[in-house]
Chain A
Amino acid sequence: DAGVTQSPTHLIKTRGQQVTLRCSPKSGHDTVSWYQQALGQGPQFIFQYYEEEERQRGNFPDRFSGHQFPNYSSELNVNALLLGDSALYLCASRYRDSTEAFFGQGTRLTVV
Chain B
Amino acid sequence: AQKITQTQPGMFVQEKEAVTLDCTYDTSDPSYGLFWYKQPSSGEMIFLIYQGSYDQQNATEGRYSLNFQKARKSANLVISASQLGDSAMYFCAMREDAGNMLTFGGGTRLMVKP
Residues of A that sit less than 8 Å from B by CB: 31, 33, 35, 41-45, 48, 55-56, 58, 88, 90, 92, 97, 99-106, 108
Contacts and interface: CB of A to CB of B under 8 A. Distances in A.
A42 B93 CA distance: 9
B106 A41 contact: yes
Nearest to B52: A99
Contacts of B104: 42-44
A106 B104 CA distance: 16
Nearest to B97: A97
Given A33-B101, A42-B105, A103-B37, 10 more contacts: A43-B91, A43-B102, A45-B102, A92-B45, A99-B50, A100-B50, A103-B46, A104-B44, A105-B44, A108-B43
A42 B91 contact: yes
B101 A48 contact: yes
B41 to A, nearest CB: 11
Contacts of A44: 104
Contacts of B52: 99
A105 B42 contact: yes
Contacts of B47: 100-103
B100 A55 contact: yes
